[in-house]
Amino acid sequence: MLVIPAIDLHNGDAVRLYKGDFSKVNVYSQNPAELAARFEGMGAKYLHIVDLDGAKSGAAVNAETIRRIRERSSIPIQVGGGIRSRETASVYLEELRINRVILGTIAVDNPAFVRLMIDEFGADKIVVSVDVRDGKVSKSGWTSDSAVEYPEFIERLTRIGVRIFVVTDISRDGTLTSPNWSIYERISSVSAADAIKIIVSGGVSCDEDVEKARKYYGVIVGKAYYEGKVDLEKCLKNV
């Protein structure tokens, strides 16, 4: 299992939102590149970066900050937020040497685009974000909801070659109330479950949550680290 520290970017700072609400922002670092280097020093094998501004606008708003993080860190990085064109994906994967891009809104609106990205860059470079609110998949930086149920969405995307999913219950994100484990259990019953890798995200609150996620491919740790609820270095050593 991968324990993946998260850096959410807003106006160039590392922040955390509460349930995706931009009016409820905590700033944890004004130097995200230094923060990323700290995570690498702790033993992190992967970083999870979200351009929150990009997720709302559909553009790579924090690309320069992500460039500085890449320059300071040698470990693999996955980036999401506003990646809705081949050009933006190429900037990250080819110019900035990011290892994986995370597709969200575009995967809901245009699954054929996801297939094209897999054909061009490979399934190991393309991750799909499944952001769940009341059983439906959300999009546009969690500002609107689709009519698609998340198990159906995952089934649909696996049929076109997606193998890695970051799955978040929006109602748990930033709340430190533990992940919604029932979502992940339901995903394990979909027909393609054995062929996909699930990354748990949203609500991690303690070392026990990290341990419980061991049955999955990975778990993202954000606010729980910043608020001192998770001993990240210990968790990284125990995986």
Out of 8, 145, 169, 209, which one is annotated catalytic? 8
The sign of the torsion formed by the CA atoms of 25, 30, 31, 35 equals negative
Nearest to 191 by CA among 218, 163, 155, 165: 155
CA 180 – CA 192 distance, rounded (Å)? 21
CA 102 – CA 82 distance, rounded (Å)? 9
Residue 207 annotated among the catalytic residues of the structure: no
Out of 131, 145, 169, 173, which one is annotated catalytic? 131
How many helices and strands in the chain, by DSSP H and E?
11, 12
CA 214 – CA 216 distance, rounded (Å)? 5
Residue 51 annotated among the catalytic residues of the structure: no
* Residues tagged active-site: 8, 131
